[in-house]
Structure 1
Amino acid sequence: MTTELRELRQEDWDEYYAALELAFGGVAEAREESELWNALVEFHRCFGAWEGGTCVGTTGAFSFRLCVPGGSLVDAAGVTMVSVAATHRRRGILTSMMRRQLDDVRAKGEFLAVLTASEPAIYGRFGYGTATFATKAEIDTSRVSLSVPAGTDDVGLRYTKPADVHEACEELYARRVSERPGMLARQPGWERLGLLDPESERHGASPLQCVVAERDGELVGYARFQVKPDWDMAGPKGTVRLRDLEAADPVAYAALWRFLFGIDLTSTVEAHSRPTDDAVFHLVSDVRRCRIQVRDSLHVRLVEVAAALEARAYRTPVNLVLDVEDAFCPWNAGRWRLTGDLKGATCERTEDDADLALSVRDLGSAYLGGVSLTSLAAAGRVRELRPGALAEAATAFGSDVAPWLPHGF
């Protein structure tokens, strides 16, 4: 049968979402979660592959504002809900959806597409490169202590219901976005994601809890977390599962971590999706007992190379020619002269000899400053064509802080 790719209609949502759930194992999500995605989804940005009356493929995109090096917020398509039915693999359905989607992103004037991958091997052929990483830590708080800065005792902490302070927490989060590449400026409705707490996802842990840090009556930090009680013959060994933690300054940050370490009847703090340069690893007495694991997080695709490179700042002055390979979006292929510094950049077509040669995938990896062009060159993915160009570019493209995606989509 012929497969038709068409824009998602409201009346098709249930079948579209059921096809997505089936592709991810067939376990239905909690009602609260599916209702949230239904409220956030942009139907005109979603496409389904239909065979007759059956949905056999899904993809969509959210309209995001993404922080890039230099602190600017730029429009980006947040690619999401990608699936192909197991019965319809190797028929070109995913390729046709990616083609339609990137053409649509370009038509909307967005020059970046980003995603989180269920399987990282899938998206490289479409030009997506791994640009940020996330840290997971399981900290043995029975054997690890914290060294906190002066003034930590001056920060007040109090329990509160997460929903009662979500507006103030969102205001603090919004102030933090421009400080770290990869963070998303949350659009209206997205604050609900931080409050999502379906009972079926707790797996024996408490409902979501929240503690806020305050100074002089002002909220300067918050932590949202759950506690999973556990006991053995030696006594209590519960786990604190950290969901979110943001703070306006190092003192508030340390106060919140000290609180988490000291929760009664627990001996582990489990933190997911933290930045790779998270400061807590410089507060702990024994980093080995933090059981740190790192995995890929945000994947970046430059849809319009020139516009994307002009949108960010560069840590040091740069003036070089990039020879970009891009078979899937051929309008990007060729040589581009990039000139920029901390104040901004220009990027234009050129016939000049290239200084570096790389794929758009690897340019996406380096774009937010967390993956070094030098490292990519060592893997044979970037070629230096002018001596000294690699060091110049690697320094300029870098970021003072590790790029980080605070939550999925």
Structure 2
Amino acid sequence: MRTLTESDVAEWIRALNTGFYRGFTVGAEEVELRRASYDLARTRGVFEGDRCVATLRSMPRELTVPGGRAVDASAVTNVSVTGTHRRRGLASQMMAADLADAKERGNPVSILIAAEYPIYGRYGFGPATWVAQWDVDLPRAALDQRYPGPPEGRVELVGAAEIRKAGPELHERVRTLTPGAINRTTEYWEVATGERQLPPGSWKEPFFAVYRDADGRIDGMVGYDIHDGEWEHKLPDVHASVRNLTAATPAAETALWRYLFALDWVNLIKTGFRPPDDLLPLLLGDPRAARLSSIADFMWLRILDVPAALSARTYAGAATSLVLDVQDRAGLASGRFLLETDTSGAAVCVPAPSATPTDLSLDVGDLACLYLGDESALRLAALGRLTEHRPAAAAAADTAFHTPRRPWCPDVF
């Protein structure tokens, strides 16, 4: 196992594409485009001779936590092991090295999108956000398709260049309001708008629309594709697939959905990834017309520095004092910690004095589930994954960690 040199990049990409079943042959253009976004010091491979058989890399990201602050996160991605080399501990070796580096850099947390549920708990990660996808049957939605537009502001179609220009500022506004969201790089916007195509030649231009408020400011945007099927008996069979809908205000969110609901001929809308407590079904006259096609874990989180992570977010309810005994098999974040919050929601977390009794014991992965406010301490206690040493301590933790809306991460990374 080693980090990469320039001469390793093409072979590493071939191993990555093989691991994700994208194909075996790698073109020079793809190597050049992908290399431009890689930090080789944070890109690891396992090599057998000249052949790369396992891959992993990480990237710096800012993660929004409850209260609107951002913490520096190490975002892990591109984890693969070639089928001929599975069950040899290669992923474990790479993950241990990457987490140790993140800890040394001072990153309070590491994050990733898990392709499979059973893998990452063994490394101290826990599912911190969930995601939902809906199929909206428009003929059953009980909406007037003759939608005249929003009462204030307007929706307009724009090109990719306008999205590249306005998207970063809008996303930053929304991100500060969304626990679980991460910052987007310049590369993200280039890929999302077709300026950079990975793999080369894969771009299919979507439609883009924005919502401008009464003063002309862009408060929302959406990208969507149209799929025109076979028109049997001269009846339309047209679906719309939403790539991403971002809105800074309820007015913008409502206006963009109503615009999509009123598209001529469209009888089914696939929403793409949405928050698990999305407003969408209740925007319909008949919410049953929105069928939940999936709801699943999405972004997993690994706490590396308990005091830094817990001190960064805000908390709900009355002033609270909790002593947490955190177990971590890897030894990166284990210890006893005193978390004290005040009525404003601000908190300080420090190592607990030895004489202070423990209130709750839990694994670092279960603390990750609580961290952004998505999981319930009482539910973890009922499952046997959290031990309560003081009566009502789990209920106090439940109140403190709770957030009014569930966290979610809009982005795959």
Q: Do the structures match in fold with TM over 0.5?
A: yes
The DSSP-based 3-state class of the residue aligned with 2:277 is coil
Alignment correspondent of 1:321: 323
Alignment correspondent of 2:224: 225
CA distance in 2, matches of 1:378, 1:34: 50
Measured against aligned partners, the alpha-carbon deviations of 1:263-312 in whole angstroms (never above 9, x if no partner) come to 11210110111111221222112222211120111000001122111121
Contact 2:14–2:26 (Cα < 8 Å) also in 1: no
Contact 2:325–2:358 (Cα < 8 Å) also in 1: yes
CA distance in 2, matches of 1:146, 1:61: 45
One-letter code of the match for 1:326?
D
Q: Does 1:362 align with 2:366?
A: yes
Return the match for 2:138 from 125, 141, 156: 141
Q: How many Å apart are 1:370 and its aligned residue?
A: 1.1
Q: How many Å apart are 1:163 and its aligned residue?
A: 2.3
Q: How many Å apart are 1:38 and its aligned residue?
A: 3.2
Measured against aligned partners, the alpha-carbon deviations of 1:209-242 in whole angstroms (never above 9, x if no partner) come to 1011113322221111111111332411211110
Contact 1:206–1:227 (Cα < 8 Å) also in 2: no
One-letter code of the match for 2:56?
T
Alignment correspondent of 2:351: 348
Measured against aligned partners, the alpha-carbon deviations of 1:320-366 in whole angstroms (never above 9, x if no partner) come to 111111011x1422321111241232222332221111100100111
Return the match for 2:61 from 58, 61, 64: 64
CA distance in 2, matches of 1:89, 1:199: 27
Alignment correspondent of 1:262: 262
One-letter code of the match for 1:404?
W
CA distance in 2, matches of 1:60, 1:136: 28
Return the match for 2:129 from 129, 132, 157: 132
CA distance in 1, matches of 2:92, 2:198: 37
The DSSP-based 3-state class of the residue aligned with 1:153 is coil
Q: Residues 48, 128 of structure 1: CA spacing in aligned structure 2 closer, same or farther, 3 A cutoff? A: same
One-letter code of the match for 2:161?
A
CA distance in 2, matches of 1:384, 1:244: 41
Q: Which segment drifts farther, 45-54 or 282-291?
A: 282-291
Alignment correspondent of 2:277: 277
The DSSP-based 3-state class of the residue aligned with 2:41 is helix
Q: Residues 11, 147 of structure 1: CA spacing in aligned structure 2 closer, same or farther, 3 A cutoff? A: farther
Measured against aligned partners, the alpha-carbon deviations of 1:74-126 in whole angstroms (never above 9, x if no partner) come to 10000011111222222221111111111100111111000001111111000
Q: Residues 271, 202 of structure 1: CA spacing in aligned structure 2 closer, same or farther, 3 A cutoff? A: farther
Alignment correspondent of 1:288: 288
Q: How many Å apart are 1:151 and its aligned residue?
A: 9.1
Q: Which segment drifts farther, 166-175 or 100-109?
A: 166-175
The DSSP-based 3-state class of the residue aligned with 1:253 is helix
Measured against aligned partners, the alpha-carbon deviations of 1:357-399 in whole angstroms (never above 9, x if no partner) come to 1100100111111112222222211111110100000110111
CA distance in 1, matches of 2:400, 2:168: 32
Which residues of structure 2 form unaligned runs of 5+? none
CA distance in 1, matches of 2:406, 2:46: 37
**What CA RMSD, in Å, does the superposition of the two structures yield over aligned residues?**
2.6
Q: Does 1:377 align with 2:378?
A: no
CA distance in 2, matches of 1:376, 1:295: 18
Alignment correspondent of 2:120: 123
CA distance in 2, matches of 1:345, 1:223: 39
Q: Does 1:92 align with 2:95?
A: no
CA distance in 2, matches of 1:402, 1:158: 30
Contact 1:60–1:82 (Cα < 8 Å) also in 2: yes
The alignment's TM-score, normalised by the length of structure 2, stands at 0.91
Q: How many residues align?
A: 403
The DSSP-based 3-state class of the residue aligned with 2:118 is helix
One-letter code of the match for 1:116?
I
The DSSP-based 3-state class of the residue aligned with 1:18 is helix
Contact 2:313–2:346 (Cα < 8 Å) also in 1: no
Q: Does 1:398 align with 2:402?
A: yes
Contact 1:312–1:345 (Cα < 8 Å) also in 2: no
The alignment's TM-score, normalised by the length of structure 1, stands at 0.92
Contact 1:67–1:178 (Cα < 8 Å) also in 2: yes
Q: Residues 242, 151 of structure 1: CA spacing in aligned structure 2 closer, same or farther, 3 A cutoff? A: closer
Alignment correspondent of 2:108: 111
Q: How many Å apart are 1:47 and its aligned residue?
A: 0.8
Contact 2:191–2:197 (Cα < 8 Å) also in 1: no
* Alignment map for 1:192-211 (pairs within 5 Å): 192-196=190-194, 207-211=205-209
Q: Which segment drifts farther, 125-134 or 24-33?
A: 24-33
Alignment correspondent of 1:172: 170
CA distance in 1, matches of 2:30, 2:298: 21
Contact 2:163–2:193 (Cα < 8 Å) also in 1: no
Contact 2:323–2:359 (Cα < 8 Å) also in 1: yes
The DSSP-based 3-state class of the residue aligned with 1:59 is strand
CA distance in 2, matches of 1:299, 1:202: 31
Contact 1:304–1:332 (Cα < 8 Å) also in 2: yes
Measured against aligned partners, the alpha-carbon deviations of 1:123-177 in whole angstroms (never above 9, x if no partner) come to 10000000100110010011104599x9932221211112233221221111111
Alignment correspondent of 2:304: 303
